Amino acid sequence: MPSERRCLRTSATPNRSLPTGFSCMTFMRSAFFTFIAVFSSMVYPACPHPLVDTSQWSTVNVGPFKMRAPDDYRQDKTQGYDSQVGRWKAEGEWVLYDFGPYTEPPANLDRYRDVNACDEEIGGRQARIATYRKQEGGYVVAAHWADTGKGDKRLSVIGEARNPAGRDRLLAVVRSVLFEP
């Protein structure tokens, strides 16, 4: 009959038998790292990384940062009140940026479908990215940089597309942001 080892029993933990060669410390270490791995994936989920070729895209210089955009994007007139804003449109897609001290991240994501939010370093700065679907249709990509390295200025980039391919292009646009020194 194989020998058994038992871990310390508490009222919260049942008396579990461990196979020979498997110490209580190994069991506890394994449980701890499993907990950390699961918890970390819940707090910092993996950001989706669709493969989009941006090598033929144009670089758009908006002053405090640059980003790459597909050649079919055309700048659209827009006016900010307390911040610098810009908007580009293409067939079935648009992207907008808001750069200033009062720029806020997207809120109320719980009212959308298929929400995926994550943290990622983009352009040398930490960003929060969210992708989701609107109830009436359409795919949205939003990113927010609370620290742009430009004093109290923050940046949000948000875009909408009709289909998943457009959403993937918007993710590539967001990931191309590069802050000017």
User: What CATH number is given for 58-179 in this structure?
Assistant: 3.40.1000.10
Predicted confidence (pLDDT) per residue in 4-41, tens digit: 444 344 344 444 454 455 444 443 344 333 333 333 33
Q: Which two tokens stand for residue 146?
A: 């609370």
Which DSSP letter does residue 7 get?
P
Residues of the chain with CATH 3.40.1000.10: 58-179
Q: Tell if the pTM clears 0.95, that is, is over it.
A: no
The C-alpha angle 156, 160, 161, rounded to 5 degrees, equals: 150
* Pairing outcome for strands 58-61 and 139-145: unpaired
- What pLDDT does 170 receive? 94
| pLDDT band (50, 70, 90) for residue 133 | confident
